[in-house]
Amino acid sequence: MNLVLLIFILLFSLSLFFFSKSRIGYFSNSKQFKLKALPKYYAYYLSLWCALPAFLVLVSWNILEPTIVKNLIFSKIISNSSNEVSRDELNLIFQKIKAYYAGNFTGQLSEVIKSGADQYKRLLSVAASSKVVIFFVTIVIFTSIALKNVANNVHAREGVEKIIRILLFASSVAAILTTAGIVFSLLFESIKFFSTINFFDFIFGTSWSPQKAFVSDTSAKLSASEIKELSEAFGAIPLFAGTAFIALIAMCVAVPIGLFSGIYFAEYASTNVRKFGKPLIEILAGVPTVVYGFFAALTVGPFFRVLGESFGFEVSSESALAAGLVMGVMIIPFISSLTDDVINSVPQSLRDGSYAVGATKSETIKKVVFPAALPGIVGSILLAVSRAIGETMIVVMAAGLAANLTINPLESTTTVTTQIVMILVGDQEFTSAKTQAAFALGLTLFAATLVLNFIALRVVKKYREQYE
């Protein structure tokens, strides 16, 4: 249905475009009136005014229709039932009505569902026909307005350019809308979560066991002991600690290797080494993270276990060490190429000054170039840290699932991202505290990376200004 309508506007506005272009060209040649713009602008003007409003109507209708239909059915159910119906019950009934309408309903069939399905069917057919009517009315109205304007010899190019500018602006607002969407979706569920679970219990609690959250309906009244039990199930400290720990291991691998290779590329390497070595290392940045996850889970993890066993250590096959090490390898190219850039932008005069007083190359690097480049390097390391804590696939595949507070790299730990994936993969009920907890974790992650990125970008920017 939507596709047919879309194809219709496309074809209609295209034909309008070519038709009006040739007509207006003909008019202007016959010198009946003087045009204010090239004929093609009149054609653009017409087809834009015909297609855009109809398209917007179609999109907003499709977005609003389900909500309106749902609310109409809700109000019917509420007015028909004698006692109070909660929001969740309504949702459940609505799901059943939809399933019955689609013909794959199994279970107890009640009168409410039957009549609801009848109403649903009626509403859908009404909605479909009114959509088509409104769609065509929009096309007719706007096309005729545009035609009248063209007949009055409107400034067509200016009109078209105005529309184009508005479209350009709307596109750049899309970025803000995305952020707003992220914040909205995270906050919406998190607020529900924090209405049952105390914020401080979440941030400072030390035991994480969401499977304990058997109470699926958080809106129901809970007894004091149940609330206490729930808050004990959602202490996120082990997750934060695990995330920080794995990120720390990753940085222990990535920072030395990345820094030294960046310095070598910038200061020592011949052009040939640079030309072939840099892209080779940057392959590491292009490899999808799921590949690293596979590598960590099937190669590195078992390797460490066997190695540990031969030395008499007990190593979990999902050790933090394996996940952290592989994550570190992933991060090497970020640090090395950023370090390379930063060091290259240190002015040559600083080096020359140092050489002139007799310092060797490494002394110059250590005592002059590195301190000068330090802010930029710190910024790049911060960016790398934010990548490490937001990294998902490696830890999902190679780190453990059970939350335990440990600083032993040979044991398994879990991270924020792992828990989000574990909770949300598969079927979820959106009323359970467990699902909402995933969104609360997402919000924390979003906030943490945002702060890190903000600081890092500021540091890097400030540093750049220093030498420009």
The nearest distance, CB 59 to other proteins, in angstroms, is 11
The nearest distance, CB 72 to other proteins, in angstroms, is 16
Which C-beta is closer to other proteins: that of 136 or that of 260?
A: 260
The nearest distance, CB 367 to other proteins, in angstroms, is 12
The nearest distance, CB 70 to other proteins, in angstroms, is 9
Rounded Cα gap, residues 54 and 137, in angstroms? 9
The nearest distance, CB 301 to other proteins, in angstroms, is 12
Rounded Cα gap, residues 193 and 108, in angstroms? 32
Rounded Cα gap, residues 150 and 165, in angstroms? 20
The nearest distance, CB 189 to other proteins, in angstroms, is 7
The nearest distance, CB 1 to other proteins, in angstroms, is 13
DSSP state of 269: -
Beta bridge partner(s), residue 234:
208
Rounded Cα gap, residues 330 and 465, in angstroms? 30
Rounded Cα gap, residues 321 and 301, in angstroms? 8
Which C-beta is closer to other proteins: that of 161 or that of 309?
A: 161
Beta bridge partner(s), residue 208:
234
Which C-beta is closer to other proteins: that of 111 or that of 427?
A: 427
DSSP letters spanning 139-189:
HHHHHHHHHHHHHTT--HHHHHHHHHHHHHHHHHHHHHHHHHHHHHHHHHH
Which C-beta is closer to other proteins: that of 170 or that of 220?
A: 170
Which C-beta is closer to other proteins: that of 143 or that of 418?
A: 418
Using the Cα atoms of residue 13, residue 16, residue 18 and residue 24 in order, give the sign of their dihedral.
Answer: negative
Look at residue 12 and give its three-state secondary structure: helix
Which C-beta is closer to other proteins: that of 179 or that of 206?
A: 179
8 A C-beta contact, residue 70 and residue 10: no
Q: Tell how far CA 223 is from the center of its chain.
A: 37
Which C-beta is closer to other proteins: that of 169 or that of 311?
A: 169
Within 10 angstroms of residue 287's Cβ, the number of other Cβ atoms is 13
The nearest distance, CB 114 to other proteins, in angstroms, is 23
Rounded Cα gap, residues 364 and 348, in angstroms? 11
The nearest distance, CB 335 to other proteins, in angstroms, is 10
Which C-beta is closer to other proteins: that of 115 or that of 453?
A: 453
Within 10 angstroms of residue 285's Cβ, the number of other Cβ atoms is 13
Which C-beta is closer to other proteins: that of 143 or that of 376?
A: 376
Residue whose entry in the numeric block shows the structure tokens 């506007």: 9
Within 10 angstroms of residue 330's Cβ, the number of other Cβ atoms is 27
